[in-house]
Amino acid sequence: MSVRDGEAYRIMQSGKPVGGLVIKVDGVEGELELLFVSPHAHSRGIGYAAWCEVERLHPEVRVWETVTPYFEQRNIHFYVNRCGFHIVEFYNSHHPDPNDPDMAQDKDEQFPAGMFRFEKVVR
């Protein structure tokens, strides 16, 4: 992953870093490249507050996109139930990510069973 052409933010709480995120915005399209919160700060609304701030900073974005491994139940819950994303695609060896052409050929891929692609349409 590269931050080039993107924006990177630290997520702070009480003056201390507790996470971070990287986004890319291109007109009305946005991509959440990375969002993480330190495990000791989980379940406190920090990730959700950070995501709300991203949306506030970029009202021009009409469609946000992100991906996460199929087995990351906590991420799936966060994106779907908290942030309002919808699962729109499942990348796997039979349906590779078109942005990752090596996925279909790479037998040692990091997530061999697949990745969910999410979208959030902002009205």
Q: Could you report the per-residue pLDDT of 58-69, keeping only the tens digit for each?
A: 999 999 999 999
Q: What is the pTM of this model?
A: 0.85
Estimate to the nearest angstrom the gap between the alpha carbon of 1 and the chain centroid.
12
Give residue 111's pLDDT band: very low, low, confident or very high (50, 70, 90).
low
Residue 52 corresponds to which tokens in the numbers above?
């709300």
Strand partners, 68: 116
Cα separation, 12 vs 86, whole angstroms: 27
Report the CATH fold assignment for 7-121. Aminopeptidase (3.40.630)
Residues 67-109: pLDDT tens digits? 999 999 999 999 999 999 999 999 888 888 887 766 555 555 5
Average pLDDT, stretch 43-59? 96
Most distant CA pair in the chain, distance: 46
> Residue 58 has what DSSP assignment?
-
Cα separation, 68 vs 90, whole angstroms: 10
